[in-house]
Amino acid sequence: MIVRHRGKVYARMDRTDRFSWSSGGKIVRAIGALVKAIGSTLAGVATGTVVDMPQFEVFRKRMAPLVKQPYVTIQHRGTMSFNKAAHHALGSPEAIELLFDPNEQIIGVRAVDPRVEHAYPIRVTNAETSFIVSGRAFTHYYGIPTDISRRYPAEILDGVLCIDLKGGGTEVTSNRKGRTKAATEGSNGAQRDLGAVFNREIAEA
């Protein structure tokens, strides 16, 4: 019901509620703005300019930062520790074989079937951030120094992970608890050789 009062127009909703024509104008303007926003969104979809909602993921305390550079640490007594990037570069194998170029002083690591006689099984740490291989006989045979733990960058060439020893690597120092940083990477007892590897290395020595 439309009512005129002192030159103003009112629409009577019931006996107690009424709004002025100016209030009605605000509603009309709000609806217009909404229609305009919807139109802009549709135009954006048509032109491909709409920004998608970010694909968030939940961070958990145990999530370790992803290291893209492959690294291999030759620890005390010849234990070899591969970071996750190095293991992934090899195709995430269960076992590897060890190669060596005496002239260039380059260690080669290649994925093999675990059933191969000379295969070295890979031991995965609990945190799955480090992968351990016992290379005591290998380092002893080729005279590779193991008195100090050293970490080397590695690169994959034709399926072989190459570790160049000529650069000297980076010395891994001990922390306050007396364990090396290399061991802290997730060895959790990696200094202990696997039974099968231990027996084989005794035979090789």
Closest CA to 108 of 156, 150, 142: 156
pLDDT of residue 19: 47
The DSSP annotation for 157-185 comes to: ETTEEEEEGGG--EE--B-TTS-BHHHHT
Are 126 and 139 within 8 A, CB to CB?
A: no
CA Rg value for the chain: 34
Are 109 and 163 within 8 A, CB to CB?
A: yes
- Please give the chain's pLDDT, 205 residues, in tens: 555 556 655 555 554 444 444 555 677 677 877 777 777 666 655 555 556 778 887 877 665 666 689 999 999 889 999 999 999 999 999 999 999 999 999 999 999 999 999 999 999 987 778 899 999 999 999 999 998 999 999 999 999 999 999 988 999 876 544 444 444 444 444 333 434 444 444 445 4
Other beta carbons within 10 Å of 51: 6
Kindly report the pTM of this predicted structure.
0.55
pLDDT of residue 6: 61
pLDDT of residue 177: 47
